[in-house]
């Protein structure tokens, strides 16, 4: 135990922010525990397995230099997502002028404005666009290596459950409140947004402990949003009853774009609130749990 604590201290000694240091220590501890459990299951002595787990992770001083680097891991993906939203919005606007579709025009305007604002914001804070692309590709490669196959499968399964639950909630009867009290469009929109957030957050909140490492990575949040989008769009195209009333006549491409933006935004908001809760309640952090 003393060796592990010393390894964690050396590996995170250069991280100034105490919350980032706690999360880094929790991540390193989980990796060490995973390696240690595999070695002990193979019949290795626990003390020897402890030393080998530290050797497998590498020199703590080298790891400290990497962890102390500026936190730019997510900006590459954020820039790509915002730029793709901008292009998708412009494409929908062009299509709407040819098809005279008000739905395409409405979604195209929202995506264009949102994508333009986010792209400008991310580019202003991180102006080297080519570096953004390289960081995004690097994060994509890392996301396929440091997350276990079990957590990948769990994340995809939970994302599929989120898309399925969204479709099922949209298929519920909407005539709950009489039209004489509120405007029917306001009622349907409010119920649609509420049910969507319940569907988007519910499965992740229930299984958050099983997909913790994957859920903290924005790359897997994108994969999860894409999975939920595919499941939801397939069900809507298969049966129009899965679509809420204001969007019953939308084209499949509008569902794909709107669903992805909605699911991804909901996941980003939920991850932000979850991280904020961990900062406010530090006693729930992995930092304070015994290593073994």
| pLDDT per residue as tens digits for the range 159-207 | 888 888 877 777 766 555 555 555 555 555 555 566 667 777 777 777 7
Identify the pLDDT of residue 145: 63
Angle between helices 2-11 and 46-57 (to 10 degrees): 10
Confidence class for position 146, pLDDT limits 50, 70, 90: low
What the block records as the tokens of 89 is 């919005």
Task: Tell me how far the alpha carbon of residue 90 is from its chain's centroid.
Answer: 25
Strands (E), 165-263: none
| pLDDT per residue as tens digits for the range 79-103 | 777 777 788 888 778 777 777 777 7
State the Cα–Cα distance between residues 281 and 267, nearest whole angstrom: 21
pTM: predicted TM-score of the whole model, two decimal places: 0.48
The mean pLDDT of 9-28, rounded to a whole number, is 75
């Amino acid at each position: 135990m003393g060796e592990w604590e010393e390894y964690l201290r050396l590996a995170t000694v250069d991280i100034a922010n105490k919350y980032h240091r706690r999360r880094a220590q929790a991540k390193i501890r989980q990796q060490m525990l995973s390696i240690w459990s595999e070695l002990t299951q193979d019949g290795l002595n626990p003390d020897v397995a402890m030393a080998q787990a530290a050797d497998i992770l590498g020199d703590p001083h080298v790891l400290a230099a990497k962890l102390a680097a500026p936190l730019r891991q997510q900006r590459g993906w954020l820039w790509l997502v915002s730029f793709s939203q901008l292009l998708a919005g412009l494409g929908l606007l062009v299509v709407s002028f040819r098809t005279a579709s008000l739905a395409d025009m409405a979604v195209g305007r929202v995506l264009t404005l949102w994508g333009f604002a986010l792209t400008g914001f991310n580019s202003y804070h991180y102006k080297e666009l080519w570096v953004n692309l390289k960081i995004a590709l690097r994060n994509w490669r890392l996301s396929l290596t440091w997350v276990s196959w079990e957590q990948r499968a769990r994340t995809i399964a939970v994302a599929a459950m989120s898309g399925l639950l969204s479709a099922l909630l949209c298929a519920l009867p909407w005539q709950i409140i009489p039209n004489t009290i509120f405007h029917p469009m306001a009622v349907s929109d409010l119920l649609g947004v509420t049910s969507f957030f319940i569907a988007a957050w519910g499965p992740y909140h229930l299984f958050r402990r099983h997909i913790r490492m994957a859920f903290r990575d924005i790359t897997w949040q994108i994969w999860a949003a894409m999975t939920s989008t595919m499941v939801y769009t397939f069900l809507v195209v298969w049966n129009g009853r899965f679509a809420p009333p204001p969007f019953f006549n939308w084209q499949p491409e509008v569902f794909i774009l709107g669903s992805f933006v909605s699911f991804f935004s909901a996941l980003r908001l939920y991850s932000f609130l979850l991280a904020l809760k961990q900062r406010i309640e530090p006693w729930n952090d992995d930092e304070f749990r015994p290593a073994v």
